[in-house]
Amino acid sequence: MKKLLVTIDGPAGSGKTTVSRRLAEKLGYAYVDTGSLYRGVAFEAGQKGIAPDDDAALENLCAHIRLRVVKTDAGTRLYSGDTDISDKIRVPEISMLASAVSARPVVRRALLEVQRQLGAEKSAVFEGRDMGTVVFPDADIKFFLTADLYTRAMRRYRELLQEAGQTLEDVAADMKKRDENDASRDVAPLKPAADAVTIDSTNLSVDEVVAEMMGWVASV
**123-179 pLDDT, tens per residue?**
999 998 889 999 999 999 999 999 999 999 998 888 776 555 678 888 899 889 888
Distance, in Å, from the CA atom of 199 to the CA atom of 14, rounded to the nearest integer, reads 10
pLDDT 10s digits, 63-76:
999 888 777 777 77
Q: Are strands 141-146 and 197-200 parallel, antiparallel or unpaired?
A: parallel
Closest CA to 5 of 189, 128, 182: 128
pLDDT value for 103: 84
**The pLDDT value given to residue 33:** 87
pLDDT at 92 over 90: no
**Residue 135's pLDDT is what?**
93
Distance CA 72, CA 90 (A): 18
Domain at 5-214: CATH architecture: 3-Layer(aba) Sandwich (3.40)
Domain ranges of the chain: 5-214
Smallest CA-to-CA distance from 188 within 125, 105, 114 is with 105
